[in-house]
């Protein structure tokens, strides 16, 4: 079994495409970082102020670049003092708590996270990076893993679909099946290599996001909170949590790609169906968000669980599923799909292909 894994690993690593995948990942992280930095440089630092008792037109004012803007007061004036931002956040939390929780289910949680975020920085005596004084911190960029996880997932799907389909297209499937290994062992070795590749590109993406973030954005401690959406969660922890949730997605995508390529022997079909899951989930979830409140069991449908990265980013998903529950659900789906793949792979007369 170990020899099978080593052999499959060699076949993957020694392909020219392996280096190309890494270049694509690093290049895209750098590109996204550069676009973000340029966008922040274009961010408007103008605001309108209406003087008390003045019924005329609001006066346009400009705040100097480099001065942090945490939020805006009720009269539209930018808040540049961290202590004042904490007071406003505390008032927002009290206002949210006074509302009916059923009508505003997420408002209290968001207000609490915002307050926790500003209080954490105030306690540390550090000024948070905002769009007006640097755009975002290196830690904040790291916590999003460069914003290219969909592309990374796509590369993993391509590799997973290639692992089986290439054996048919290259005519090596007969030779592979003549070895003293069960078909289930052969398929398992390919799954293990795919999972190892997914783990490797995830770590590579994290390193790339850390390097690019440190080069392009202001560097603060990665132990400071990443964003108001995550409350007191540090940028380092947020990056690892998002990497973990996305890895669970990769496991599911790998299972689907292996099944399609093993059953239909087509890499293009495997990539196409897996990509359909990646990019159509947002459209399907639009309808699920309307249906789940009416029929709660729908929250366990796989397309809803594909939103697990939103949980990693500090948001909620339809059905109020917890991060642990969504992770377990994805793993169960992945196991069921893989078991079906093994059954079909053992039953089909692939040696005659």
Let me know the angle formed at the C-alpha of 342 by 340 and 348, rounded to the nearest 5 degrees.
100
Split at pLDDT 50, 70, 90, the class of 195 is: very high
DSSP conformation class of 57: P
Q: Cβ(9)–Cβ(159) under 8 Å?
A: no
> Bigger pLDDT: 179 or 141?
141
Tell me, what's the pLDDT at 333? Answer: 94
Mean pLDDT of 200-222: 93
- 89-116: pLDDT as tens digits: 888 888 888 776 655 667 888 888 989 9
Is the pLDDT at 53 greater than 70, yes or no? no
Is the pLDDT at 185 greater than 90, yes or no? no
Tell me, what's the pLDDT at 347? Answer: 74
Tell me, what's the pLDDT at 214? Answer: 93
Which two three-digit tokens encode residue 191? 């799954």
Which two three-digit tokens encode residue 222? 């990665």
Q: d(Cα 111, Cα 122) in Å, to the nearest integer? A: 17
Tell me, what's the pLDDT at 269? Answer: 77
* DSSP secondary structure of 165-230: HHHHHTT-HHHHHTSSS-HHHHHHHHHHHHHHHHHHHHHHHHHHHHHHHHHHS----TTSB--GGG
Tell me, what's the pLDDT at 273? Answer: 76
Is the pLDDT at 52 greater than 60, yes or no? no
**Residue 323 to residues 155, 190, 308, 315, 320, Cα–Cα distance (Å):** 25, 28, 7, 10, 9
Tell me, what's the pLDDT at 23? Answer: 94
> Bigger pLDDT: 104 or 79?
79
Report the first-to-last Cα separation within the chain, whole angstroms: 24
pTM check: above 0.75: yes
**Residue 309 to residues 111, 115, 287, Cα–Cα distance (Å):** 21, 23, 19
Range among 109-113, 117-121, 164-168 with highest mean pLDDT value:
117-121
Tell me, what's the pLDDT at 349? Answer: 64
- 227-282: pLDDT as tens digits: 888 888 999 999 999 999 999 999 999 998 888 887 777 777 777 777 777 777 77
Tell me, what's the pLDDT at 60? Answer: 64
Split at pLDDT 50, 70, 90, the class of 212 is: very high
Q: Cβ(79)–Cβ(114) under 8 Å?
A: no
Let me know the angle formed at the C-alpha of 330 by 313 and 191, rounded to the nearest 5 degrees.
110
Which residue's structure tokens are 């540090």?
Answer: 234
Tell me, what's the pLDDT at 209? Answer: 95
DSSP conformation class of 80: -
Split at pLDDT 50, 70, 90, the class of 35 is: very high
Q: d(Cα 137, Cα 142) in Å, to the nearest integer? A: 9
Is the pLDDT at 169 greater than 70, yes or no? no
By percentage, how much of the chain surpasses pLDDT 70? Answer: 87
Lowest mean per-residue pLDDT among 81-90, 278-287, 315-324: 278-287
Average pLDDT of the chain is 83
Is the pLDDT at 163 greater than 60, yes or no? yes
């Amino acid at each position: 079994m170990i020899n099978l894994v080593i052999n499959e690993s060699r076949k993957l690593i020694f392909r020219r495409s392996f280096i190309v995948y890494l270049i694509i990942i690093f290049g895209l992280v750098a590109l996204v970082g550069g676009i973000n930095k340029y966008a922040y440089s274009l961010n408007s630092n103008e605001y309108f102020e209406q003087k008390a008792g003045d019924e005329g037109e609001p006066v346009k004012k400009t705040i100097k670049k480099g001065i942090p803007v945490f939020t805006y007061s009720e009269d539209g004036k930018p808040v540049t003092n961290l202590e004042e931002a904490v007071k406003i956040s505390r008032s927002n939390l009290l206002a949210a708590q006074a509302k009916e929780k059923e009508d505003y289910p997420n408002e209290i949680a968001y207000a609490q996270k915002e307050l926790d975020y500003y209080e954490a920085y105030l306690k540390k005596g550090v000024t948070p990076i905002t769009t007006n004084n640097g755009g975002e911190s290196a830690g904040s960029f790291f916590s999003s893993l460069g914003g290219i996880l969909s592309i990374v997932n796509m590369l993993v799907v391509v590799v997973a679909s290639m692992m089986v389909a290439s054996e048919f297209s290259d005519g090596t499937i007969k030779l592979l099946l003549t070895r003293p290994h069960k078909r289930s062992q052969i398929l398992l070795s390919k799954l293990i290599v795919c999972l190892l590749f997914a783990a490797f590109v995830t770590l590579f993406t994290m390193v790339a996001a850390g390097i690019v973030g440190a080069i392009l954005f202001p560097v603060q401690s990665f132990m400071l909170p990443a964003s108001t959406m995550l409350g007191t969660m540090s940028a380092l922890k947020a990056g690892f949590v998002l990497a973990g949730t996305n890895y669970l997605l990769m496991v599911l995508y790998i299972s689907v790609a292996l099944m399609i390529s093993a059953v239909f022997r087509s890499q293009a079909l495997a990539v196409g169906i897996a990509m359909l899951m990646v990019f159509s989930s947002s459209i399907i979830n639009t309808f699920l968000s309307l249906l789940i409140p009416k029929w709660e069991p729908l929250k366990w449908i796989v397309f809803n669980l594909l939103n697990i990265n939103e949980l990693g980013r500090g948001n909620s998903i339809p059905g109020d599923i917890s991060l642990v529950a969504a992770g377990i659900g994805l793993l169960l789906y992945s196991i069921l799909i893989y078991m079906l793949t093994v059954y079909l792979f053992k039953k089909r007369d692939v040696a005659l292909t």
